Structure 1
């Protein structure tokens, strides 16, 4: 693939939605004309801004403020992809909690990223699949997009990274390890060795920064990848194996607990039969 492919999925007076895919081993300068919300759903990328580097993956939303210059690199060999939303400025200021935004115009976020919950991950997948497959009309797609934005930045459903900068950098290194091989059944000692700290320190740091244990974060990444891949697998047992789950039943139970429906039910509701693998 070329270095970066931007595919327009929706453009209305209120919201624009794009699918952004980047090749692995690339790096580009970024300066958004309008404030963007980016939802990674495949792989991970690194954002370099103000002398810091942060990891973006499927458990968070990234904010690219209008006029803000930085760089994004794509270390994963298979590249990465994100769903990109821009929202009408007046509407975005109406939706966003005031504490999240700088004063003045255009709307610009104080945080570079926020953690999102499983429901937001489902909305990313539903919006992307329905627009790709042409099953959502503009009104439905706009409603899905704005619901996603509200949930991603809502005070009860979003999570800002906490802890010291050194602990955040450590946790970001651990995330890169996990995303680099989602199918591997890592042990805590192995991840700790990869990032060069003790298992106890890694456990404490991850929970402090992300608010969840490392194993649960890994589960969320695997399930988000499943949302992306469901249309490519006819055999869900094979999908569960490829994502490192111990069994098909374990995968199904975890998916249902996180998203409120089984993988089969999600695929039936989100993907037309003619576009599923094996159909």
Structure 2
């Protein structure tokens, strides 16, 4: 339940999607991950604790955590939960197109403190539960295509629990400038990006890019960049012995005080406290 590193979950050469089933009868201590986790409750109840606060869980509740997000469970009453672990590369390779869908884009990019309280309706839950049960309990390797299919069913079901698309778009198609801008930020998080420069690079005006980006991914472009930096910093805090100031510089935050404030904004802990609390063996 406390595996936090990519190498502990995804074996070399193995598929970057893994499912596990847990039955929890007692509290679990808070822990973090450097990959995406989708936790689907199929039975029992508990209270979920994270930087976003506390949330009551029951059958159908879904929690999505992006890299760096920490969480734990308390008051577990025979909580049955399936964890679906997903490497970020899945959403930058075969499923990169998901960001063009406004509903799915918001599910993927607004987890954590500003995220949604996701649920699956009974029909979607039955489909997802069947797929997760077969994948988690299968003695041999599950084909990657099957894992991707389960992930898509889960994301589609949770997207349906969100409010109506604020753009009013019923086609499910987003603007290509959003995908292009997101890729630019992902490919160079160290760069001192500003909104004007980013908008110019994708040939739209800054206000228009902000409106498109927020509608499609749930957060403005500069907040998205801050989240990418915080996620990378969180991984480096767990995986390396680099000083906090050096990690800040590596992700594009050159002022240590500013870096600490931005990191705390996303994870509700200072970088030093995060390392102390979540680093294995720390």
Q: TM-score under structure 1 normalisation?
A: 0.49
Q: TM-score under structure 2 normalisation?
A: 0.48
